[in-house]
Each structure stands twice: as C-alpha cells, then as structure tokens.
Amino acid sequence: MHTVSWVSEQIGLAPGTLRAWEQRYGVVRPTRSDGGYRLYDDHDLDTLRTMADLVAGGMQPSLAAEQVRSGRTVPLREPNREAEGASGLPDPSALLAVSRGYDVRTLEEILDAAFASARFEYVVDVWLMAAMAAVGDAWSAGDLDVAQEHFISAAVMRRLAAAFDAAGNARGGRHVITGLAPGSNHEIATLAFATMLRREGLRVTYLGPDLPVASWVKAVRTTRPAAVVVGAARRTDTEAATAIVRALRVEAPHTAVYVGGPGAPAGHGLGGTTLAGSAAWLADTLAGTRTP
C-alpha cells in the first residue's frame, strides 16, 4: 500500500489533484490507515497514472475519468508525460527574453509553437499560466518594465481572443456570463476560462475587465443566464467579488454565481484544480450530472 505523497511523487501530480480526482470523478477508492490517511494499492497507482497520461495528452479530466472507469482508454496523443513535455512547448521564460527587445515576430512564433503543440486546455494550464506567472514575478521584482509586461499580455490576449471566437457559441448550450470584478484588469485567465467553457459546449458571454456591480446586475437581468462566473484575479479582489455575489443574490436569486481565481470568497469558488478542470466541472454541474 502506498501513501498519497508517495503516489504523488511517482506520477508527478500534486496530492491535491489526486484527491480531487478521487472525490470528483471516483476513479479510485483508496483505503484508510488506522490514522485516517489514504492508502493506494498498485491498481490505484496504475489507474491514476493512466488518467494522468490522458490529461497530459490534452484530454479533459472528466472525459479521461470516464474512459478510465469504463476501461476504454484511447489517448488523444502518445500517453507519456515526458513525451508531452517535449512535444514543442517552449520554455515559459522565453516570453521574458523576447519582451526585452519588443521582438514581435519571435513572440508570435513562441505563441504559435506553444498552441500548436497540444490541446488548448493543456497549453493554457501547463504552459501559459506558468509563463505569465514568470512575467508577473519579473515585473514585481523590477526586472520587467510595465511596457514590456503589456507587450507580452497584449499578444497573449490577442491569441486568446482569436481562440474564443474560433470556439463558436453554442446556440443550445446553457448560457454563462463571465467577466472580472470591479477594479480587476488581469484578463488572461478569465478569457482563457471563457474559451474553455465555449469548447465545453456552453453559450458564453464575456464582459471583460473592471465591471461595476451595477453593470453585472443589469447584464444578468437582461440575459437571465444559467450561471455567472466572476473573475477575481488577485486576492485583493475578494471584497469586490463578494459585493457582486451579494447583489446578484438579491436581484437574481435563481442564477448560480461562482467566482474564479485567488480572490474567490469562501463558498463561491469553482470546482476543479485547473482552469480546464473548473470548466469541465461547471459544464457538468449545469448539465445536471454533478451536484454543485
């Protein structure tokens, strides 16, 4: 029998991700030690490794779990995490290097290489979020000028906007409104998430950054969506996001309201440990196949 920390090291996934797969998808059912700790057998290890390979190949976690449970594991790409990592994803720090000379052509080439290497969801969760975190750290440390940070962010936003448009807007899908809390302007994760929702077959209206509470209320009254997702990109966005939740509870009590990001107030965060996982979770929830 194996502990969660040992399994985590063997597969290369955080313990929280393994627990989430167990709780949300039921792919394994570990036993418990006398002290209440999870214990996995060899079959659990093989199952989790198979699902990890499928997700690393770009498959949605919910679909990967379905295949694992059914015993029909057909990978979208070669089921090897190391092979996936070597499939063309650039080093996340590459964006920093090209920003220093405002090299538009090379920046576009890096983004081309990244998004051509694997599924959109995989590239965003594994590469883009890491790359933008590196950009943010460099800016905070004074190693990157504001103009250089904006240069990178604008190029990424153009790429995401194109992907959002290309994903289409399902006429019959459940309607979701998403945008950012007032005062929040870091759009990349929220627009990427909106794109993933479209790719899940939902009908998505993206409202953009820094949206006042009154505008959220007006938009919801007008469109009557099945759900609202408020982006709270920073922990300091919690108060503003909470104000939206409270207003919509009064004005649209039958609309489900979620908040995504580090600023999500307790009890209103999305399920899922990644953007793709959260998108799949919300799609399943709105379809009635998952309890919120």
pLDDT tens per residue across span 214-260 = 999 999 999 999 999 999 999 999 999 999 999 999 999 999 999 99
Distance (Å, rounded) from C-alpha 207 to C-alpha 190?
10
Query: Residue 82: pLDDT above 60?
Result: no
pLDDT of residue 211: 96
Q: Domain for residue 83, yes or no?
A: no
The pLDDT value recorded for residue 57 is: 59
Give the distance from CA 205 to its chain's centroid: 17
User: Longest Cα pair distance anywhere in the chain, in angstroms?
Assistant: 59
Q: Of 48, 77, 106, which residue sits at a domain end? A: 77
pLDDT band at 79 (very low <50, low <70, confident <90, very high): very low
Q: Which domain holds residue 160?
A: 88-166
Give the CATH number, domain containing residue 9.
Answer: 1.10.1660.10
Q: What is the CATH number of the domain that holds 246?
A: 3.40.50.280
Q: How far is CA 252 from CA 50, 216, 220, in A?
A: 42, 11, 7
Last residue of a domain, one of 77, 106, 136: 77
How are strands ordered across the β-sheet holding 38-40?
Answer: 2-3, 38-40, 31-32
Judge whether 292 lies within some domain. no
Q: In this structure, are strands 227-231 and 256-260 parallel, antiparallel, or unpaired?
A: parallel
Q: Is residue 130 situated within a structural domain?
A: yes
- Res 74 pLDDT > 70: no
Based on the fold, state whether residues 179 and 276 are members of the same structural domain.
Answer: yes
pLDDT band of residue 65 (cuts 50, 70, 90) is confident
For residue range 94-107, what is the model confidence (pLDDT) as tens digits? 888 899 899 999 99
Q: How many folded domains does the chain comprise? A: 3
Question: pLDDT higher for 76 or 162?
Answer: 162
pTM for the model stands at 0.71
| Mean pLDDT across the chain | 84
User: What integer pLDDT is reported at residue 153 of this predicted model?
Assistant: 95
Taking the C-alpha atoms of residue 231 and residue 194, their distance in angstroms, rounded to an integer, is 10
